[in-house]
Amino acid sequence: MKHALKTGAVVFLTLTMLVGFVACNRNPEQSGDVPPGYKPNVVGEITFTIQVNNEEEKLSPDAFIRAFEKMYPDAKVNRDYNVGQIEARIASGDIGDVFHFPEEHTYTYAVTHRALMPLDAYLEPLGINVSQVYSGIYDLGVVNGRLYMASRDHNHIVLMANLDALHAAGLDLPQNDWTWEEFKVNYAPNLVKTNDDGTFDQVPMNISLSYDPIYIPFMEGWGGKWFDTINKRVNLVSDPKVLQGIEEMINAAEAGFLYPTGKQDVSDYAGLRQSDYVFRQMVYPGMYTLAVEYDRLGVNWDIATFPMFPIPKVGTGSSGFGVYNRTKRPDTAAAFALFFFTEEGQKAYNGQTGGSVPLMRTLANDDFWRGKGTEWEGKNYDAYVAFPENDTVGQVQCRVPAPVAEMIDGNPWLNMLRQHFDGHVNFKDSLTTIETRANQKWESLVDFEE
């Protein structure tokens, strides 16, 4: 099934018309389906499109290409390291056989632009066992039951913890299985500090409440179902369990336990350094910058897991790679993209400077990503791979059609927070409006067969 707007989609429709116009001079669309017992013919040249800005950023894709060509010696990968305007390149057909994109664009490229070839049918013929791939990461690439993106790495939200502040309050780094209730009862009340004038001297936690990998776990963490692709609606206030999770988030901010993202008058927080927030959201690629900052300030730090809700959920994300559905070599392109779901591919890509957490359970304890031999050896790297079964897709656009997601994420959600924390409109009223508009948008989408 495909989705198209009845109205208000000039850009998408124009792009679709352009793709249709130039398609006559390009290769036919590849369905991604293969017959039983199919043996992929991984040979010939393909082009890999990914933005690379400096020599260091070349290390991971270059190593990945070398490992792939070693595995498949009859295949050759050409490098396209200057992406430019990716949507224009997709429309014109001037895009690599395999190209890189953020996970929130998977639906748009697979459905709206009809530019991606499904990859799931190639898993068995290529001998790729995805049982060791973290399920939350695999799910990032799935649209309408088909796999369109092979994720690059495993990034779920963790917390940079100020150990000095914890120890000063008589607290230790929380266990990896700590809960939201423990944070509210045992940690936050002992970590919030105010000055005589009412301004904050220390805040327990700073997580961006307008960032969907943060607020989606709150919406799901009390058992709520905020989206329904069968009945094509979102439930932000209609599902009381979704509303309960959002209310937990809002109440914690109002209690001074969380930084109130969106609030316009933040003068009460003006004197704080970043390390004065005892816990700060972080993902692995951002650890280096934060760690250097804390080291420069002389702050002792470690890594904590995101606290568990009653239904444990942790926002997870990863950019990834898809196959252009007009590739001349679907077998080779599929093998290259799905090479990210192998140990060899993960070690090659994420074992370089600037790499990240591998997306396979079998590599969870490998030294190559755990800072071995660095000044940070011994930190709680386990937090990055703790309880992967709690991972949830942390992007609204990966769960609902992009036009519907735009009614929720970004400015609508941020405005909801701002209006509430500024005392203008209660968050429940704003959520009611957001839900109504999102569902009206979803109703304006018409289904049609390919």
Same domain, 68 and 205: no
Contacts of 246 (CB under 8 A, 6+ apart): 215, 218, 219, 236, 427, 431
Contacts of 298 (CB under 8 A, 6+ apart): none
**Beta strand 116-117 pairing with 301-305:** unpaired
The domain in which residue 173 lies consists of 157-316+396-448
Same domain, 267 and 165: yes
10-residue stretch averages of pLDDT, the chain, 450 residues long: 38 46 67 96 98 92 97 98 93 95 92 94 97 92 94 95 98 98 98 96 98 97 96 97 98 98 96 95 93 95 98 94 97 98 96 89 94 91 96 91 94 98 98 98 70
Same domain, 227 and 95: no
Asked whether the beta carbons of 74 and 43 are under 8 A apart, the reply is yes
Whether residue 378 is contained in a domain is answered as no
Same domain, 307 and 326: no
Match 């249709």 to its residue by tokens: 20
Residue 196 has a pLDDT of 95
Same domain, 335 and 352: yes
Same domain, 132 and 193: no
Residue 398 has a pLDDT of 87
**Beta strand 391-393 pairing with 314-317:** parallel
Quote the CA–CA distance of 357 and 351 in Å, as a whole number.
Answer: 9
Whether residue 1 is contained in a domain is answered as no
Residue 353 has a pLDDT of 80
- Cβ neighbour number for residue 182 with a 10 Å cutoff: 15
Whether residue 376 is contained in a domain is answered as no
Quote the CA–CA distance of 89 and 72 in Å, as a whole number.
Answer: 28
Whether residue 374 is contained in a domain is answered as no
Whether residue 231 is contained in a domain is answered as yes
Same domain, 57 and 119: yes
Asked whether the beta carbons of 149 and 140 are under 8 A apart, the reply is yes
Residue 64's domain is classified under what CATH number? 3.40.190.10
Whether residue 381 is contained in a domain is answered as no
pTM above 0.95, yes or no: no
Please report the beta strands in 126-219, taking only residues with DSSP state E, as ranges in sequence order. 142-143, 146-147, 150-151, 155-156, 158-162, 193-194, 200-206
